[in-house]
Structure formats: C-alpha cells, structure tokens
Amino acid sequence: MVYAASKNGCFLAFGGGSVTLSELEEAAGKGIETKIFPEFLPDTINLDGKLA
C-alpha cells in the first residue's frame, strides 16, 4: 500500500490493525502524506451475515 501511496501522493487508512499501523509508519517515514479515518467501522449487520 505504501508503494501505491507513493504514486498517488497520499496514504488513506480506514481503520485497520497492526499491519496498517506499520504501513502508516513506513509512509510517514518516506514523507508520504497520510490521512487516518479512525471512525470507519465495519457494518456489523452485513459482517454477521457474511460470517454466518
């Protein structure tokens, strides 16, 4: 994802876990603009349906 952001100019993070965090750190270290959307949560109704 960092490679794609380096071509587009911005790394967008919609939630995520430890992998997202490491990618954000890598992007920031390379001077790539980052935008974090922590309020983005999965739709639990659709998620429960897919998991069932």
| CA distances (Å), origin 33, targets 29, 47, 52 | 10, 31, 38
pLDDT at 25: 92
Cut 0.85: pTM above it: no
Show pLDDT as tens, one digit a residue, over the chain (52 residues).
787 888 878 888 887 888 888 989 999 998 999 988 877 776 777 777 778 7
pLDDT at 42: 67
The residues, any chain, with a CB within 8 Å of residue 51's CB and separated by 6 or more, are none
Amino acid at 2: V
The domain spans of the chain are: 2-51
Amino acid at 33: E
